[in-house]
Amino acid sequence: MVGQITRGTTGTNRLRRVDRWIARHPVLRRAADPLVIDLGYGASGVTAFELWTRLAAARADVEVLGLEIDPARVRGARAQLQRVRAGSTPFAPHAHVSFARGGFEVPVAGGRRPAIIRAMNVLRQYDQADVPAAWRSMATRLAPGGLLVEGTCDELGRIATWAAIGPDAVPRTFTVSLRLAGLERPSVAAERLPKALIHRNVPGERVHAFLTALDDEWERAANVSPFGPVHRWRTALSALHSAGWPVLERSRWQLGEATLPWNAVAPA
Ligand SMILES: C[S@@+](CC[C@H](N)C(=O)[O-])C[C@H]1O[C@@H](n2cnc3c(N)ncnc32)[C@H](O)[C@@H]1O
């Protein structure tokens, strides 16, 4: 089994921002076999049930397999699944969710290849040097055109960032997603960057330049604050875009998201 047991911290609703990004992603919508892996789900299976619930609204035949390297956590999640089946939880008793033991080798019965692997708050507890091999191990298990979504968030899920990586283990995009109400500075995301970037938030690195420019535009857009934080965020991102930052997915800006091609923030 590839990897090591780490702290199992998780929580209800913690991964909502990344879930809703995946839910509308064409990779999920077009998948021939909509199998999604929740890799390293932690001390409870709650994020796997939430993932299924959110994705099933977009793709009714989605199936979620939670994989954990800690056998005790697999036993715990399977007991939780029994309670879900019995109807004694808020989750649908028929939720197409299962749990198994596994690591970065992403074992799936019958050799099925997942359309999406979501690995949130898993690599955070590894060394930066472990990232390329972990990405490769997971990404090469994907179905053609599939995505590995690997990132980090805070305990309450108000600050989240993630990389989307293709089956060739090459990252495609970087996303930051923030709760805008009460946001002081977008660079608060620096503490929750994916492991591949967290040590790169220093002058001379692209991700540092991006977060600095985002802070500057957020500050400059303070004059539109009376129209609300969403308006302020959109104003800031429009200015960044005009300045040459290739901010993608304009229709999602209102959610407090900014997605860029990975190259725009990649380590120098
Ligand atoms: C901090 S928890 C994250 C839980 C959940 N994904 C979340 O974001 O709330 C990290 C979990 O990943 C598991 N883990 C670490 N390395 C793993 C690996 N290589 N394969 C599977 N699970 C792993 C740990 O055992 C731990 O339970």
User: What atom of ligand 1 comes closest to residue 42's alpha carbon?
Assistant: 27
Does the C-beta of 174 come closer than 6 Å to ligand 1?
A: no
Q: Which of 48, 46, 44, 16 is nearest to 35 (CA)?
A: 48
Model pLDDT, residue 232: 98
Model pLDDT, residue 251: 94
Does the C-beta of 39 come closer than 6 Å to ligand 1?
A: yes
Q: How far is the CA of 247 from the centre of ligand 1 (A)?
A: 30
Model pLDDT, residue 132: 97
Integer Cα distance of 232 and 211 in angstroms: 16
Does the C-beta of 157 come closer than 6 Å to ligand 1?
A: no
Average pLDDT of the residues in 6-10? 91
At residue 180 the predicted structure's pLDDT band, cuts being 50, 70 and 90, is very high
Model pLDDT, residue 216: 98
Model pLDDT, residue 117: 98
Average pLDDT of the residues in 185-208? 97
pLDDT, one tens digit per residue, over 247-268 is: 999 999 999 999 999 999 999 9
Average pLDDT of the residues in 151-158? 97
Average pLDDT of the residues in 35-52? 98
What's the alpha-carbon Rg for the chain, to the nearest Å?
Answer: 18
Q: How far is the CA of 161 from the centre of ligand 1 (A)?
A: 16
- How, if at all, do strands 116-120 and 147-153 pair? parallel
Q: Ligand 1 pocket test: pick from 2, 6, 9 the residue with the most ligand atoms within 8 Å of its Cβ.
A: 6
Which residues lie across from 37 on neighbouring strands?
Answer: 65, 117
Does the C-beta of 8 come closer than 6 Å to ligand 1?
A: yes
Helices (H), the chain: 16-23, 26-30, 46-56, 71-85, 131-139, 195-198, 206-220, 229-242
Q: How far is the CA of 190 from the centre of ligand 1 (A)?
A: 21
Q: For a pLDDT cut of 90, what percent of the chain falls above it? A: 99
Model pLDDT, residue 37: 98
Q: How far is the CA of 42 from the centre of ligand 1 (A)?
A: 5
Average pLDDT of the residues in 49-54? 98
Does the C-beta of 3 come closer than 6 Å to ligand 1?
A: yes
Average pLDDT of the residues in 202-221? 98
Integer Cα distance of 154 and 142 in angstroms: 27
At residue 20 the predicted structure's pLDDT band, cuts being 50, 70 and 90, is very high
Does the C-beta of 73 come closer than 6 Å to ligand 1?
A: yes
Model pLDDT, residue 222: 97
pLDDT, one tens digit per residue, over 21-34 is: 999 999 999 999 99
- How, if at all, do strands 159-165 and 147-153 pair? antiparallel
pLDDT, one tens digit per residue, over 80-138 is: 999 999 999 999 999 999 999 999 999 999 999 999 999 999 999 999 999 999 999 99
Distances (CA, A) of 178 to 83, 146, 173, 241: 33, 25, 17, 18
